Chains A and B, each alone.
Chain A
Amino acid sequence: MVFELKEGIFVLDELKNVSIKIGKVIEEEEEWTEPIGPTPMPGILELRNWDRKLMERYEPFYAPMSDYCNLCTMGPCDLSQNKKGACGIDLKTTKARLVTIACCIGAAAHTAHARHLLNHIIEEYGEDTPIDLGPNINVEAPNIRLICGIKPKTLGDLRAALDWAESEIVKVLHSTHIGNEEDYIDYESKAMHVSMADHVGMEVADIAQMVAYNLPKAEPDTPLVDTGFGIVDRTKPVIVVVGHNVMYARPVADYLEEQGLIDQFEIAGLCCTAHDMVRYNAKAKIFGPIYYQLRVIRAGLPDVIISDEQCIRADLLSACKSMGIPLIATSDAACRGLPNRNDDPVDEIIKDILSGKTPGVFLDDGEKLAEVAVKVAQEIFKRKQKKELFLTDEELKEEVSKCTQCMNCVFTCPHNLRIDQGMKAGQDGDYSKLSALEEVCIACGKCEQVCPKNIRIINVIMKTGYNSLVSKTGRTRVGRGPIQDTEIRNVGQPIVFGQIPGVIAAVGCINYPDVMQDIRDILEEFLKRRYIVVTSGCHAMDIGMLKDEDGQTLYEKYPGNFDAGCLVNTGSCVSNSHIAGAVIKIANIFAMRPLRGNYEEIADYTLNRVGAVGFSWGPYSHKAASIATGFNRLGVPVVVGPHGTKYRRAYIGKLWKSEKWWVYDIKSRQKVHIEPAPDVLIAAVETKEEAIVQLARLCIRPNDTSQGRQIKLTHYLELSQKYLGALPDDWHLYVRSEADLPLKMKDSLLKILEEEHGWKIDWDKKKIVEGAIRHFDAGFNPTIVEAVYEKYTKK
Chain B
Amino acid sequence: MASEKVSKGEKYPPPKRFQVADIQVAREATAVKPEVVAKMLNKAKNPVLVTGKFLLREPELVDIAVKFYEKGIPIIATGGSSKPLIEKGVKPLSVVYTLHQITQYMLDPDWKGFNGTAYDTVVYLGFTPYYLSRMLSAMKHFSKITTISIDEFYHPHARFSFTNLTKDKELHYEMLRKVVEGLEERK
Known: A407-B166, A411-B19, A687-B56. A654 touches B95 (CB 8 A): no
Known: A61-B100, A683-B101. A412 touches B82 (CB 8 A): no
Known: A687-B80, A725-B86. A697 touches B96 (CB 8 A): yes
The answer to whether A730 touches B96 (Cβ under 8 A) is yes
| A694 (CB) vs chain B CBs: closest residue | B98
Task: Please name all residues of chain A whose beta carbon is closer than 8 Å to the beta carbon of B98 when the two chains form the complex.
Answer: 683-686, 690, 694
| B87 (CB) vs chain A CBs: closest residue | A725
Q: Tell me if A282 is interfacial: C-beta within 8 Å of chain B.
A: no
A92, A690, A723 — which one has the most chain B CB atoms within 10 A of its CB?
A690
Known: A416-B153, A642-B130, A729-B97. A686 touches B82 (CB 8 A): no
A410 CA to B18 CA in the complex, in Å? 8
The answer to whether A720 touches B56 (Cβ under 8 A) is no
Q: Tell me if B134 is interfacial: C-beta within 8 Å of chain A.
A: yes
Task: Please name all residues of chain A whose beta carbon is closer than 8 Å to the beta carbon of B105 when the two chains form the complex.
Answer: 654, 656
A61 CA to B100 CA in the complex, in Å? 9
Q: Tell me if A62 is interfacial: C-beta within 8 Å of chain B.
A: yes
Q: Tell me if A650 is interfacial: C-beta within 8 Å of chain B.
A: yes
B residues 135-168 in Cβ contact with A at 8 Å: 135, 137-138, 140-142, 153, 166-167
The answer to whether B26 touches A81 (Cβ under 8 A) is yes
Q: Tell me if A80 is interfacial: C-beta within 8 Å of chain B.
A: yes
> B170: shortest Cβ distance to chain A, in Å?
14
Known: A61-B104, A81-B141, A690-B78. A66 touches B23 (CB 8 A): yes
A residues 180-236 in Cβ contact with B at 8 Å: none
B17, B101, B112, B129 — which one has the most chain A CB atoms within 10 A of its CB?
B101
Q: Tell me if B27 is interfacial: C-beta within 8 Å of chain A.
A: yes
Q: Tell me if B21 is interfacial: C-beta within 8 Å of chain A.
A: yes
The answer to whether A642 touches B103 (Cβ under 8 A) is no
B21, B137, B140 — which one has the most chain A CB atoms within 10 A of its CB?
B137
A730 CA to B130 CA in the complex, in Å? 28
Chain B residues touching A, range: 35 or more
A residues 637-663 in Cβ contact with B at 8 Å: 642-643, 645-646, 648, 650, 652, 654, 656-657
> A679: shortest Cβ distance to chain B, in Å?
8
Q: Tell me if A65 is interfacial: C-beta within 8 Å of chain B.
A: yes
The answer to whether A63 touches B83 (Cβ under 8 A) is no
Q: Tell me if B117 is interfacial: C-beta within 8 Å of chain A.
A: no
A679 CA to B140 CA in the complex, in Å? 25
The answer to whether A411 touches B16 (Cβ under 8 A) is yes
> A410: shortest Cβ distance to chain B, in Å?
7
> A414: shortest Cβ distance to chain B, in Å?
7
A656 CA to B4 CA in the complex, in Å? 39
A654 CA to B105 CA in the complex, in Å? 7
The answer to whether B96 touches A686 (Cβ under 8 A) is no
The answer to whether A693 touches B137 (Cβ under 8 A) is no
A414 CA to B18 CA in the complex, in Å? 10
A81 CA to B103 CA in the complex, in Å? 16
Q: Tell me if A251 is interfacial: C-beta within 8 Å of chain B.
A: no
Task: Please name all residues of chain B whose beta carbon is closer than 8 Å to the beta carbon of A412 when the two chains form the complex.
Answer: 19-21
Known: A64-B137, A66-B23, A686-B131. A724 touches B104 (CB 8 A): no
> B155: shortest Cβ distance to chain A, in Å?
12
The answer to whether B131 touches A645 (Cβ under 8 A) is yes
Q: Tell me if A264 is interfacial: C-beta within 8 Å of chain B.
A: no
The answer to whether B26 touches A416 (Cβ under 8 A) is no
Q: Tell me if A728 is interfacial: C-beta within 8 Å of chain B.
A: yes
> A654: shortest Cβ distance to chain B, in Å?
6
The answer to whether B135 touches A724 (Cβ under 8 A) is no
> A641: shortest Cβ distance to chain B, in Å?
9
The answer to whether B83 touches A725 (Cβ under 8 A) is yes
Q: Tell me if A82 is interfacial: C-beta within 8 Å of chain B.
A: yes
Q: Tell me if A558 is interfacial: C-beta within 8 Å of chain B.
A: no
> A37: shortest Cβ distance to chain B, in Å?
34
A residues 392-445 in Cβ contact with B at 8 Å: 405, 407, 410-412, 414-416, 418, 420
Task: Please name all residues of chain B whose beta carbon is closer than 8 Å to the beta carbon of A521 when the two chains form the complex.
Answer: none
> A626: shortest Cβ distance to chain B, in Å?
20
Contact with A along B63-95 (1 / 0, CB 8 A): 000000000000001111011111100001011
> B75: shortest Cβ distance to chain A, in Å?
12
The answer to whether B141 touches A689 (Cβ under 8 A) is no
Q: Tell me if A448 is interfacial: C-beta within 8 Å of chain B.
A: no
A-side interface residues, number (CB < 8 Å): 58
Task: Please name all residues of chain B whose beta carbon is closer than 8 Å to the beta carbon of A688 when the two chains form the complex.
Answer: 80
Task: Please name all residues of chain A whose beta carbon is closer than 8 Å to the beta carbon of B178 when the two chains form the complex.
Answer: none
Q: Tell me if B107 is interfacial: C-beta within 8 Å of chain A.
A: yes
B18, B92, B100, B104 — which one has the most chain A CB atoms within 10 A of its CB?
B100
A405 CA to B24 CA in the complex, in Å? 26
> B53: shortest Cβ distance to chain A, in Å?
5
The answer to whether B25 touches A687 (Cβ under 8 A) is no
> B139: shortest Cβ distance to chain A, in Å?
9
Q: Tell me if B119 is interfacial: C-beta within 8 Å of chain A.
A: no
Task: Please name all residues of chain B whose beta carbon is closer than 8 Å to the beta carbon of A66 when the two chains form the complex.
Answer: 23-25
The answer to whether A686 touches B99 (Cβ under 8 A) is yes
Contact with A along B28-49 (1 / 0, CB 8 A): 0000000000000000000000
The answer to whether B130 touches A646 (Cβ under 8 A) is yes
Known: A64-B141, A694-B98. A59 touches B104 (CB 8 A): yes
Task: Please name all residues of chain B whose beta carbon is closer than 8 Å to the beta carbon of A687 when the two chains form the complex.
Answer: 53, 56, 79-80
Query: Which of A62, A513, A723 contacts B80 (CB under 8 A)?
Result: A723
| A81 (CB) vs chain B CBs: closest residue | B141
The answer to whether A729 touches B96 (Cβ under 8 A) is yes
Known: A416-B19, A729-B95. A65 touches B137 (CB 8 A): yes
Known: A725-B82, A729-B96. A686 touches B26 (CB 8 A): no
The answer to whether B56 touches A728 (Cβ under 8 A) is no
Task: Please name all residues of chain B whose beta carbon is closer than 8 Å to the beta carbon of A513 when the two chains form the complex.
Answer: 128, 131
Query: Which of B27, B79, B107, B153 contacts A80 (CB under 8 A)?
Result: B27
Q: Tell me if A726 is interfacial: C-beta within 8 Å of chain B.
A: yes
A62 CA to B157 CA in the complex, in Å? 14
> B145: shortest Cβ distance to chain A, in Å?
13
Q: Tell me if A680 is interfacial: C-beta within 8 Å of chain B.
A: yes
The answer to whether B130 touches A724 (Cβ under 8 A) is no
Q: Tell me if B108 is interfacial: C-beta within 8 Å of chain A.
A: yes
Query: Which of B26, B83, B138 contacts A78 (CB under 8 A)?
Result: B26
The answer to whether A723 touches B25 (Cβ under 8 A) is no
Known: A724-B82, A725-B87. A652 touches B101 (CB 8 A): yes
> B101: shortest Cβ distance to chain A, in Å?
6
> B111: shortest Cβ distance to chain A, in Å?
7
A residues 88-109 in Cβ contact with B at 8 Å: 91-92
A683 CA to B79 CA in the complex, in Å? 13
The answer to whether B134 touches A646 (Cβ under 8 A) is yes
Task: Please name all residues of chain A whose beta carbon is closer than 8 Å to the beta carbon of B95 when the two chains form the complex.
Answer: 720, 724-726, 728-729
Task: Please name all residues of chain B whose beta carbon is closer than 8 Å to the beta carbon of A652 when the two chains form the complex.
Answer: 100-101, 104
Known: A411-B18, A654-B111. A684 touches B100 (CB 8 A): yes
Task: Please name all residues of chain A whose beta carbon is closer than 8 Å to the beta carbon of B78 when the two chains form the complex.
Answer: 686, 690
Known A689-B83, A725-B87; 14 more pairs at CB < 8 Å: A410-B166, A412-B19, A416-B130, A642-B128, A650-B104, A657-B110, A684-B98, A684-B100, A686-B53, A687-B79, A688-B80, A723-B83, A724-B83, A724-B95
What are 24 A-to-B residue pairs whose CB atoms are below 8 Å?
A62-B142, A65-B134, A76-B25, A80-B27, A92-B142, A407-B166, A411-B20, A412-B20, A643-B130, A648-B134, A654-B111, A656-B105, A656-B111, A683-B101, A684-B100, A686-B78, A686-B98, A686-B99, A687-B56, A720-B95, A724-B77, A725-B87, A726-B82, A729-B94
- The 9 lowest CB-CB distance pairs between A and B, nearest first, are A689-B80, A80-B26, A725-B83, A642-B131, A63-B134, A686-B79, A645-B134, A728-B96, A652-B104
Question: Contact residues of B with A, CB < 8 Å?
Answer: 16-27, 52-53, 56, 77-80, 82-87, 92, 94-101, 103-105, 107-108, 110-112, 127-131, 134-135, 137-138, 140-142, 153, 166-167
Question: Contact residues of A with B, CB < 8 Å?
Answer: 59, 61-68, 76, 78, 80-82, 91-92, 405, 407, 410-412, 414-416, 418, 420, 450, 513, 642-643, 645-646, 648, 650, 652, 654, 656-657, 680, 683-690, 693-694, 697, 720, 723-726, 728-730
